[in-house]
Amino acid sequence: MSVQDQPRTPLPERAQPYEIIGLGFGFSAAGLYFMLGAGGLLPMPEANGPTFIVFCAGAAFLFAGLTCMVRARAGIGDHQSDVPDDAVLRLKLSYRVLGIGVMGALATVGTWIAIGSGPRAFTITGSFGEMQTSGQTLGRVMFGLGAVIVWIYVIALTVGTVRKLINRGG
């Protein structure tokens, strides 16, 4: 049997807008739950950190869900990373601002893990097995480096958004 005679596997379908909106609704609902729980309006399980970190984690999920909804509304394809040029300005702006919000919330959580007060426990897992680290320094340094990288991305995304707005207006 030649390669041409074998049945072809169907290509994966593109996600439909209602599927993306459903995913966005789920993320948004989860984020809103954590944000309201951090505010004391809903019952929450005990957290190992301050309430503002739970709030930031919820904000990241809420913004990610709203970003999914904007993607579906703007008709952004699976392989596209930005809103099409012919989209309405408010969709372009909301897509970028929500992205900045997601990354800012994640950077805040990473920064707190790196430099926040209190003890931390880190575990390293690899192909050789699991190893409990003897100190906090390595984990805090890794989270600190990650937080710096994400803050740089937040700044770059913000500057890029402002430049696009200025170029569009000018």
* 90-147 per-position pLDDT tens digit: 998 999 999 999 999 999 999 999 999 888 888 777 777 666 555 688 889 999 999 9
Could you tell me the pTM of the whole model? 0.82
Single-letter amino acid code for the residue at 16: Q
Q: Residue 51 — very low, low, confident or very high, per pLDDT cuts 50/70/90?
A: very high
Tokens 């050789």 label which residue? 128
Kindly tell me if the per-residue pLDDT of 67 is higher than 70. Answer: yes
Q: Residue 7 — very low, low, confident or very high, per pLDDT cuts 50/70/90?
A: low
pLDDT attached to residue 118: 85
Q: Cα(51)–Cα(47) distance, rounded to whole angstroms? A: 8
Name the DSSP class of 168.
Answer: H
Q: What angle do CA 109, 110, 116 make, to 5 degrees?
A: 80
Kindly tell me if the per-residue pLDDT of 170 is higher than 50. Answer: no
Kindly tell me if the per-residue pLDDT of 155 is higher than 60. Answer: yes
pLDDT attached to residue 75: 85
Q: Residue 82 — very low, low, confident or very high, per pLDDT cuts 50/70/90?
A: confident
Q: Cα(87)–Cα(76) distance, rounded to whole angstroms? A: 10
In this prediction, residues 138-165 reach a mean pLDDT of 94
**Contact by Cβ (8 Å): 42, 36:** yes
Name the DSSP class of 4.
Answer: G
Provide CB contacts within 8 A for 78, sequence distance 6+: 14, 15
Between 86 and 69, the more confident residue is 69
Strand partners, 130: 125
And the tokens for 114?
């790196």
